[in-house]
A = this chain, B = another copy of it.
Amino acid sequence: MKSGQQFLRRLLDCIEDSPLRLTRKRRGLLEVMTSFDRPFLASELLEKARLPTGDLVTIYRTLEAFEGIGIVQRIPLENGGHLFELTEPHDHHHHFVCRQCYRTERLDLCLANDLEKRARRLGFSDITHTMEVYGLCADCR
| Interchain CA distance A62-B124 in the complex, whole Å | 32
Chain A 59-108 residues near chain B, CB threshold 8 A: 76, 78-81, 96, 98-99, 105, 107
Q: List 26 A-B contacts (CB under 8 A).
A: A76-B76, A76-B80, A76-B130, A79-B80, A96-B118, A96-B119, A98-B124, A99-B126, A105-B122, A107-B118, A109-B111, A111-B111, A115-B133, A116-B133, A118-B133, A119-B133, A122-B137, A124-B133, A124-B137, A125-B141, A127-B133, A127-B134, A127-B135, A128-B133, A128-B135, A130-B134
Residues of A within 8 A of B (CB-CB), count:
35
Contacts A80-B81, A81-B80, A133-B115; A124 near B109 (Cβ below 8 A): no
Q: Which residues of chain B have C-beta atoms less than 8 A from A115's C-beta?
A: 107, 109, 133
B126 touches A136 (CB 8 A): yes
Q: Which residues of B contact A37 (CB under 8 A)?
A: none
